[in-house]
Amino acid sequence: MVVHQNVPIWDQKAAIADVKNTFVGKEDALKQSYDRLVQELLKKKGEIQAAGPAYIPTCNYQDIVSNNGKIPDDLAKRVHETGCFIIKGVIDPEEVLARKKEIQEYWYGNEERTGNKVRAVQNAPGLIKLRQQPDLVKCMAAANSLWHDPSGETEWVADKPMMYIDGCRIRLAGQPGGMPAHVDSGGIDRWHHQAYRKCYQKIWQGKWEEHDAWDVTERVNLHLQCNKLFRAFQGWVAMSEAGVDKGTIRLCPAIKEQTAYYLLKTLVDPEMTEKKWPQVHGIPLREDLYPLINECLVTIPDVQPGDYVLWHCDLGHSVEYTHNGDKDSSVAYIPASPMCPLNASYLAEQRTTYLEGAKGPDFQIRDHEKGLETTYEPIPKEDDLSDLGKQLMGFAPYTVGPNDDEKTKNIVQKCNQILGF
The mean pLDDT value for 38-57 works out to 98
- Determine what percent of the chain is predicted with pLDDT higher than 70: 96
Residue 362 within any structural domain of the chain: no
The mean pLDDT value for 32-47 works out to 98
Q: Which residues does residue 238 pair with via DSSP β-bridges, in sequence order?
A: 331
- Give start and end residues of each alpha helix (H) in 66-216: 73-82, 93-114, 125-131, 134-144, 189-192, 194-198, 201-204
pLDDT band at 12 (very low <50, low <70, confident <90, very high): confident
Higher-scoring residue by pLDDT: 175, 333: 333
Give yes or no for residue 58 having a pLDDT over 70.
yes
Residue 26 within any structural domain of the chain: yes
Residue 415 within any structural domain of the chain: no
- Determine what percent of the chain is predicted with pLDDT higher than 90: 85
**Domain interval for residue 91:** 12-154+162-340
Residue 373 within any structural domain of the chain: no
Residue 148 within any structural domain of the chain: yes
pLDDT band at 280 (very low <50, low <70, confident <90, very high): confident
pLDDT band at 223 (very low <50, low <70, confident <90, very high): confident
What pLDDT shows up at residue 304? 98
What pLDDT shows up at residue 364? 83
What pLDDT shows up at residue 3? 30
The mean pLDDT value for 222-251 works out to 94
Give yes or no for residue 37 having a pLDDT over 50.
yes
Taking only Cα atoms into account, the Rg of the chain, rounded to an integer number of angstroms, comes to: 21
Q: Which of 252, 188, 271 is nearest to 2 (CA)?
A: 188
Q: Which of 5-19, 86-100, 182-196, 291-305 has the lowest average pLDDT?
A: 5-19
pLDDT band at 367 (very low <50, low <70, confident <90, very high): low
Give yes or no for residue 202 having a pLDDT over 70.
yes
What pLDDT shows up at residue 119? 85
What pLDDT shows up at residue 68? 97
Give yes or no for residue 76 having a pLDDT over 80.
yes
Report the CATH number that the domain containing residue 267 is assigned in CATH: 2.60.120.330
What pLDDT shows up at residue 9? 52
pLDDT band at 228 (very low <50, low <70, confident <90, very high): very high
Residue 29 within any structural domain of the chain: yes
Query: Could you tell me if 262 and 285 are in contact, meaning their C-beta atoms sit under 8 angstroms apart?
Result: yes
Q: How many domains does the chain have?
A: 1
From CA 71, how far away is CA 79, in angstroms rounded? 10
- DSSP 8-state assignment for residue 148: B
One-letter amino acid at 1 equals M
From CA 261, how far away is CA 50, in angstroms rounded? 21
Residue 103 within any structural domain of the chain: yes
pLDDT band at 80 (very low <50, low <70, confident <90, very high): very high
Higher-scoring residue by pLDDT: 53, 363: 53
Q: Which of 146, 17, 12 is nearest to 84 (CA)?
A: 146
From CA 229, how far away is CA 231, in angstroms rounded? 6
Classify residue 46 as exposed, middle or buried by CB count within 10 Å of its CB (0-12, 13-18, 19+). Answer: exposed
What pLDDT shows up at residue 256? 99
Residue 310 within any structural domain of the chain: yes
- Its pTM stands at 0.96
The side-by-side arrangement of strands in the sheet containing 283-284 is 283-284, 179-183, 317-319, 249-251, 298-299
119-140 burial string, b = 16+ CB within 10 Å, else e? Answer: eebbbbebbbbbbbbebbbbbb
Give yes or no for residue 160 having a pLDDT over 90.
yes
Query: Could you tell me if 137 and 392 are in contact, meaning their C-beta atoms sit under 8 angstroms apart?
Result: yes
pLDDT band at 198 (very low <50, low <70, confident <90, very high): very high
What pLDDT shows up at residue 227? 86
What pLDDT shows up at residue 4? 30
